[in-house]
A = this chain, B = another copy of it.
Amino acid sequence: MVKIGIIGVGTVGQSVANILEKNKALISARAGKEITVVKGVVSDLSKKRDVNIPLFDDPDVILEDDSIDIVVELMGGMDEPYRIIKKALSNKKAVVTANKALLAYHRFDLQEIAGDIPIGYEASVAGGIPIINALKVGLSANEIMTIKGILNGTCNFMLTKMIEDGCDYFEVLSEAQKLGYAEADPTFDVGGFDAAHKLLILASIAYGIDAKPEDILIEGIEDIKKDDIEFAKEFGYSIKLLAIAKKTDGKIELRVHPALVSKDKMIAKIDGVMNGISVIGDCVGETLYYGPGAGGDATASAVISDIVEIVRAGQSSPMLGFKKPFQSENLTLVSKDDIESEYYLRMFVDDVPGVLASIARILGKNEISIETFLQRPSDNDKKATLLCATHECREKDILNAIEDIEKLSSVGEKVAMIRIDR
């Protein structure tokens, strides 16, 4: 019998305990051994939990119990779970965690500390979708060209609603909050930080690269307006918060931002709270993985898959999939300025002669050529909305152009920019 201790018995922890009980016969047939949760640790013992396991409020009850084989960390946070996982490893216990924030910062030192002791973290990215395993095992023959992920269900729910129902940002945010898809303070989700944490984990498996959230471009969906949605619909795009990892000329681009994505791409078809990840490998081409990115039972499915694999085999490769270093010491991140993309710009301008010419001149001066231009009348008859899509250009150039455009006296507000991922 394999004994499990769960530290953090919230929504996911309760699902883990309950599914291991409900599907016990099936799971132990697959794992080869019976798997039993013997203890749980919670911070507040007075809160009622829907589980049949003894609960404690001291992690050491699990960490110092020699009979426990696998510690499942589901408490969230950073310093305390970091301490707990290190202690579990030093006590030779395998670890399973869903803690993406912790891994965004500490995956490489945890891998080193763990050595041969297994650490599973399938649940840390895209909930129930086995994307970690797909990258570590299923695609191991491939040099990964790009990863494009819809990794945050809150944002995808909101953007889908905006496109489908034409609601504005604050309407959908309040609906998402009512439905429990968004937190009271939604910054972590809508600001792109959650997606960035997950992206960093995937990029380490693909490339062996160590980067921290503060090293990469992260933009959220807060500035998406109805005009953008209408432009998207008119020109055959969907808007998605994309987490992108891309290898170009031996360098790695990592970025999270909203993007206009051609509607006929598979990744554009992933709607609502669902997650999806498109991976392009040099031999396999594109594969795509779709499913629920959150929820107790879906996330527990991933946690338990790690437990089963540890029971079956231990750990077949180090946590991040590389048994020997590869390139990673030479890999560098593409600087944010050097990213190349097509861009969409939205400008709210005075409807006076010469504005268009000034803007076109600024774009030209920055070596940006225009692909589509659209002028819309606004409710205010002295103002107009200009929408513009560019051909591919450098991030630095578009930012310079935007700065210059915003200096024009006829340009009222900040210029909105969304990258285009055709």
On A, residues with C-beta under 8 Å from B are: 15, 19-20, 23, 25-33, 122, 128-130, 133-134, 137-143, 208, 266, 269, 281-292, 295, 297-298, 300-305, 308-309, 312-314, 316-317, 321-327
Q: Kindly state the separation between the CA atoms of A380 and B382 in the bound complex, as whole angstroms.
A: 63
Known contacts A29-B322, A288-B288, A313-B314; 17 further A-B pairs (Cβ under 8 A): A23-B142, A25-B326, A29-B208, A31-B140, A137-B137, A137-B305, A140-B308, A140-B309, A141-B300, A283-B298, A283-B301, A284-B291, A284-B297, A285-B297, A287-B289, A288-B289, A312-B317
Residues of B within 8 A of A300 (CB): 141, 283
Question: Contacts A32-B324, A324-B32 hold; do A287 and B142 have CB atoms under 8 A apart?
Answer: no
> Are A30 and B312 in touch, CB under 8 angstroms?
no
Q: How far in angstroms is the closest Cβ of chain B from A319?
A: 13
Taken together as a complex, chains A and B put the C-alpha atoms of A300 and B140 apart, in Å, by 11
B305 A140 Cβ-Cβ under 8 A = yes
5 closest cross-chain pairs (CB), A and B: A130-B138, A313-B316, A32-B323, A29-B326, A287-B291
Identify the closest chain B residue to A127 (Cβ): B284
Check if A289 sits within 8 Å of B289, measured CB to CB. yes
When the two chains form their complex, are residues B141 and A130 in contact, meaning their CB atoms are under 8 A apart? no
Q: Is the pair A285, B298 in contact by a Cβ cutoff of 8 Å?
A: yes
Number of copies of this chain in the oligomer? Answer: 2
Q: Which residues of B contact A130 (CB under 8 A)?
A: 133-134, 137-139, 287
Q: A281–B301 contact, CB under 8 A?
A: yes
Residues of B within 8 A of A28 (CB): 324
Most chain B Cβ neighbours within 10 Å, of A23, A139, A295:
A139
Which of A128, A143, A283, A317 has most B Cβ within 10 Å? Answer: A283
Bound state CA distance, A14 and B396, in angstroms? 44
Asked if B308 and A312 make an inter-chain contact with CB atoms under 8 angstroms apart, the answer reads no
Give bound CA distance, A181 to B412, whole Å: 56
Among A287, A291, A327, the most chain B Cβ lie within 10 Å of the Cβ of: A287
State in angstroms the CA–CA spacing of A26 and B287 once bound together.
20
- A328's closest neighbor in chain B, by CB? B29
Residues of B within 8 A of A305 (CB): 137-141
Report the Cα distance A316→B133, complex, angstroms: 14
**B contact residues around A30 at 8 Å (CB):** 140, 317, 321-323, 326
Instruction: Report the Cα distance A196→B65, complex, angstroms.
Output: 49
* Residue ID in chain B nearest A276 by CB atoms: B288
A137→B141 contact, CB < 8 A: no
* Alpha-carbon distance between A282 and B312 when the two chains are bound, in angstroms: 22
Contact A291:B301 (CB < 8 A) given known A27-B140, A29-B325, A142-B23: no
Known: A301-B281, A322-B29. A23 touches B316 (CB 8 A): no
| A214 CB to nearest B CB, Å | 27
Bound-state Cα–Cα, A348 to B46, Å: 71
Q: Would you call B313 and A129 a contact (CB within 8 A)?
A: no
A130 nearest in chain B by CB position: B138
Q: Given the complex, which residues of B lie within 8 Å of A27, measured CB to CB? A: 140-141
Residue of B nearest to A28 (CB): B324
Residues from chain B with Cβ under 8 Å of A316 in the complex = 309, 312-313, 316
CA distance A128 to B314 in the complex (A): 26
Q: Which residue of B lies closest to A318 (CB)?
A: B32
Question: Is there an interface contact between A301 and B284, defined as CB atoms closer than 8 Å?
Answer: yes
Q: List 24 A-B contacts (CB under 8 A).
A: A19-B141, A26-B326, A27-B140, A29-B326, A30-B321, A32-B317, A130-B139, A133-B134, A133-B138, A134-B138, A140-B304, A140-B308, A283-B301, A284-B291, A284-B298, A284-B302, A285-B291, A285-B298, A286-B290, A286-B291, A287-B289, A288-B289, A290-B290, A313-B314
